[in-house]
């Protein structure tokens, strides 16, 4: 609940309330109408017992019956409208936050070890399903309980007292249910996340698991997580079922008790038979909203927890507005005393990194495994945050640029090439809705992969499967290089771009780097193999997260006692 109270001040939630204010007002008005119409049954029984039966008037009975049919028909219409509005309210929530939830899910993957087992897309689905269901409508009915109570007291104080006693008892059950359901709900959510993570990891490592006979072992591990999730779900469902059953039984018992008390009062001559029946129906209706809330409590708890998680992490997808758009960089890249890492709460993985590059420069970042080479690459392209120091393009820090526009002038090839399901043209063109066919062809030719693409049956329209599964590792790497070269970016960052390339691919990579430098791009290459730095003029040598040497390539290679053509030939363990 604390998280929800904090979330009330969040911009996403305030936006939702602003967008839905008219729907909430209309739903509340419809709830008033619906609950007034629910008095129809009590009033009808009162009139039948106190007027129709004593007078034996068929015409009065027909008139009352016709009126009841009309009122209940109107009630059905109101309930249908309420249900449709709730469904559309859920759709409004989805439409408002779906893009942010997806972008947040992507950004969460950038932070390794972030400790958040969050799935914002799934949380949004949980929230939408609850809002679209009967849960919120039952909450809108709760304010009518005191009105029903007052009406019961109006019929007779003893009837009102019995109704109030039943309401207090059921409300106590609701509080106990909340206290007992909170922790099991959190445990079930964590168990679901653990099972989902194991499933995703196994799917992404399917080849290794199958080839090395790991399937039984991984299945056993997944089975324990799945059973834990099933047990937590069962425990949570058992608690909800128990309190729902007790609440329903209490309501039926109270209805009969009110009927018995009413009969006693009729015998004593204090009320009429019509009032007795009307009070019984009224009591049942007065406690129905509480029973509905109890039956929906599991969904309410899940939705509340999902909303708390969602509104807590949605700011990760928010990009600051930049009213003043800086021109895209074309001249320099300056890194000054950089400290960087995936999470500001953790110690940086690289520190004290400084260098300056101008248009046409090519920098090779070399060093043993774990020395921080890839960390620098991720920070230069804005994947990881700058914890201390600065990264400046043409004198302006990365944060001063609109990231959407800056991405158009950055080319990045990560160590693990990440292609998406679609065509080759889609991937090279970065899935832009307005793809530039000429730029796609130029990028493919710059990466020396055009000749390979046109040999495929569908050419550039060949679908490559999920994560590029239809291509070999080397082909994926060269398509990824073409994507990085799309529209001639000023800053080109390549993380071990030749790890899966043969000799021909190495030569194509070297030519692509030289072409990029000749047109005035700054190229940064993280390298283990010597061929990757042949086309570069500067080298930064990293050791244990700190720079050990920086300068012209030949000078640095002599300083670290490596010949220019044998750089880190063997990866350190």
How many whole angstroms separate alpha carbon 19 and alpha carbon 24? 10
Q: Look at 328 and 291; give whichever has higher pLDDT.
A: 328
Task: Quickly list DSSP for 50-93.
Answer: IIIHHHT-HHHHHHHHHHHHHHHHHHHHHHHHHHHHHHHHHHHH
Q: Where are the domains of the chain?
A: 2-317, 332-559
In this predicted structure, the answer to whether residue 530 has a pLDDT above a threshold of 90 is no
How many whole angstroms separate alpha carbon 29 and alpha carbon 21? 12
Task: Give the rounded percent of residues in the chain with a pLDDT score beyond 70.
Answer: 88
Buried b (16+ CB within 10 A) or exposed e, 492-520: bbbbbbbbbbeeebbebbbebbebbbeee
How many whole angstroms separate alpha carbon 13 and alpha carbon 313? 12
How many whole angstroms separate alpha carbon 333 and alpha carbon 359? 8
Q: Is 551 helix (H, G, I), strand (E, B) or coil?
A: strand
Task: Give the rounded percent of residues in the chain with a pLDDT score beyond 90.
Answer: 29
How many whole angstroms separate alpha carbon 135 and alpha carbon 47? 33
Do strands 362-366 and 522-526 pair parallel, antiparallel, or not at all (unpaired)?
parallel
Helices (H), 205-351: 206-211, 215-267, 273-295, 297-313
pLDDT for 524? 97
Return the structure tokens found at 48: 């039948």
Buried b (16+ CB within 10 A) or exposed e, 544-572: ebebebbeebeebbeeeebeeeebbeeee
The pairs formed by 147-156 with CB atoms below 8 angstroms and a separation of 24 or more are 147/35, 148/282, 148/283, 148/285, 148/286, 149/286, 151/39, 151/282, 152/279, 152/282, 152/283, 152/286, 155/271, 155/275, 155/278, 155/279, 155/282, 156/262, 156/265, 156/270, 156/271, 156/275, 156/279
Distance of CA 366 to the CA centre of its chain: 37
* Phi then psi dihedrals of residue 395, to 5 deg: 90, -10
- Whether 147 and 160 have beta carbons less than 8 Å apart is answered as no
Return the structure tokens found at 518: 């000749």
pLDDT in tens, 416-461: 888 888 999 999 999 988 888 999 999 999 999 999 999 998 999 9
* Phi then psi dihedrals of residue 354, to 5 deg: -140, 135
* Phi then psi dihedrals of residue 330, to 5 deg: -145, 0
How many whole angstroms separate alpha carbon 380 and alpha carbon 442? 25
pLDDT for 329? 93
Q: Which residues contact 391 (CB under 8 A, 6 or more apart)?
A: 333, 334, 335, 338, 379, 380, 397, 398
Q: Which residues contact 88 (CB under 8 A, 6 or more apart)?
A: 23
Domain 2-317 has CATH 1.10.3720.10: no
Q: Is 541 helix (H, G, I), strand (E, B) or coil?
A: strand
Mean pLDDT calculated for residue range 2-22: 51
- Whether 184 and 235 have beta carbons less than 8 Å apart is answered as yes
Give the number of other CB atoms < 10 A from CB of residue 283. Answer: 30
What is the sign of the dihedral through the CA atoms of 235, 239, 244 and 250? positive
pLDDT in tens, 13-67: 566 656 566 677 777 788 888 878 877 877 887 788 788 888 888 888 899 899 9
Nearest to 489 by CA among 456, 519, 458: 519
Lowest pLDDT segment from 110-119, 343-352, 548-557: 110-119
Nearest to 159 by CA among 148, 169, 170: 148
Q: Which residues contact 47 (CB under 8 A, 6 or more apart)?
A: 64, 274
Give the number of other CB atoms < 10 A from CB of residue 238. Answer: 11
Mean pLDDT calculated for residue range 283-292: 74
pTM confidence score: 0.71
- Whether 534 and 568 have beta carbons less than 8 Å apart is answered as no
Lowest pLDDT segment from 99-103, 363-367, 515-519, 521-525: 99-103
388 — pLDDT class (breaks 50, 70, 90): very high
Number of helices followed by number of strands (H, E) in the chain:
21, 10
Q: Which residues contact 43 (CB under 8 A, 6 or more apart)?
A: 278
* Phi then psi dihedrals of residue 411, to 5 deg: -115, 135
Q: What is the length of the chain?
A: 573
pLDDT for 565? 47
pLDDT for 445? 95
How many whole angstroms separate alpha carbon 176 and alpha carbon 118? 28
pLDDT for 111? 62
Q: Vertex 453, ends 451 and 459: CA angle to 5°?
A: 125
Q: Which residues contact 331 (CB under 8 A, 6 or more apart)?
A: 358, 359, 394
CATH of 332-559, one of 3.40.50.300, 3.20.20.70, 1.10.10.60, 3.40.50.970: 3.40.50.300
Lowest pLDDT segment from 263-267, 540-544, 565-569: 565-569
Give the single-character DSSP code of 49: I
Residue carrying the six token digits 């509104």: 311
Nearest to 189 by CA among 60, 305, 84, 65: 305
Q: Look at 323 and 232; give whichever has higher pLDDT.
A: 232
573 — pLDDT class (breaks 50, 70, 90): very low
Same CATH fold assignment for domains 2-317 and 332-559: no
Mean pLDDT calculated for residue range 395-403: 89
Residue carrying the six token digits 């920070």: 379
pLDDT for 16? 60
């Amino acid at each position: 609940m604390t998280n929800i109270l904090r979330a009330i001040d969040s911009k996403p939630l305030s936006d939702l309330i602003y967008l839905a204010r008219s729907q909430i007002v209309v739903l509340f008005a419809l709830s008033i109408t619906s609950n007034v119409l629910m008095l129809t049954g009590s009033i009808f029984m009162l009139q039948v017992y106190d007027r129709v039966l004593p007078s034996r008037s068929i015409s009065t009975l027909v008139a009352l019956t016709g009126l009841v049919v009309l009122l209940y028909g109107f009630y059905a219409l109101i309930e249908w409208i309420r249900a449709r509005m709730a469904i559309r309210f859920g759709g409004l929530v989805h439409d408002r936050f779906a893009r942010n939830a997806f972008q947040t899910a992507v950004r969460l993957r950038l932070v390794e070890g972030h400790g958040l087992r969050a799935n914002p897309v799934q949380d949004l689905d949980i929230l939408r399903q609850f809002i679209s269901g009967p849960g919120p409508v039952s909450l809108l009915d709760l304010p009518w309980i005191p009105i029903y109570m007052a009406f019961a007291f109006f019929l007779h104080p003893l009837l009102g007292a019995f109704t109030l006693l039943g309401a207090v008892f059921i409300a106590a059950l609701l509080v106990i249910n909340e206290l007992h359901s909170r922790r099991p709900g959190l445990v079930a959510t964590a168990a679901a996340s653990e099972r989902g993570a194991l499933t995703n990891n196994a799917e992404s490592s399917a080849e290794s698991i199958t080839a090395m006979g790991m399937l039984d072992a991984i299945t056993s591990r997944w089975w324990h997580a799945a059973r834990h999730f099933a047990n937590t779900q069962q425990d949570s469902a058992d608690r909800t079922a128990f309190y729902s059953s007790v609440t329903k039984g209490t309501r039926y018992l109270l209805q009969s008790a009110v009927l018995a008390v009413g009969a006693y009062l009729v015998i004593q001559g204090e009320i009429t038979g019509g009032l007795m029946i009307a009070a019984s129906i009224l009591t049942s209706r007065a406690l129905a909203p509480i029973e509905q809330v109890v039956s929906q409590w599991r969904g309410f708890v899940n939705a509340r927890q999902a909303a708390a998680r969602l509104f807590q992490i949605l700011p990760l997808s928010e990009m600051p507005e930049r009213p003043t758009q800086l021109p895209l960089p074309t001249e320099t890249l300056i890194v000054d005393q950089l400290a960087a890492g995936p999470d500001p709460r953790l110690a940086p993985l690289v520190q004290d990194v400084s260098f300056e590059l101008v248009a046409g420069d090519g920098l090779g970042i070399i060093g043993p495994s774990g020395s921080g080479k890839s960390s620098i690459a991720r920070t230069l392209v804005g994947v990881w945050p700058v914890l201390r120091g600065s990264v400046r393009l043409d004198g302006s820090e990365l944060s001063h640029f609109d990231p959407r526009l800056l991405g158009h002038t950055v080319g990045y090839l990560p160590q693990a090439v990440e292609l998406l399901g679609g065509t080759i043209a889609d991937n090279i063109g970065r899935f832009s809705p307005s793809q530039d066919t000429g730029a796609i062809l130029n990028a493919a030719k710059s990466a020396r992969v055009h000749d390979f693409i046109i040999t495929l049956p569908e050419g550039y329209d060949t679908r490559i499967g999920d994560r590029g599964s239809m291509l070999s590792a080397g082909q994926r790497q060269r398509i990824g290089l073409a994507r990085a070269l799309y529209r001639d970016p000023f800053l080109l960052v390549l993380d071990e771009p030749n790890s899966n390339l043969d000799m021909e691919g190495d030569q194509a990579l070297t030519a692509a780097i030289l072409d990029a430098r000749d047109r005035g791009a700054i190229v940064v290459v993280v390298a283990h193999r010597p061929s990757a730095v042949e086309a570069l003029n500067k080298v930064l040598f990293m050791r244990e997260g700190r720079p050990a040497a920086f300068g012209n390539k030949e000078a640095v290679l002599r300083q670290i006692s490596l010949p220019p053509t044998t750089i880190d030939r063997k990866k350190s363990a």
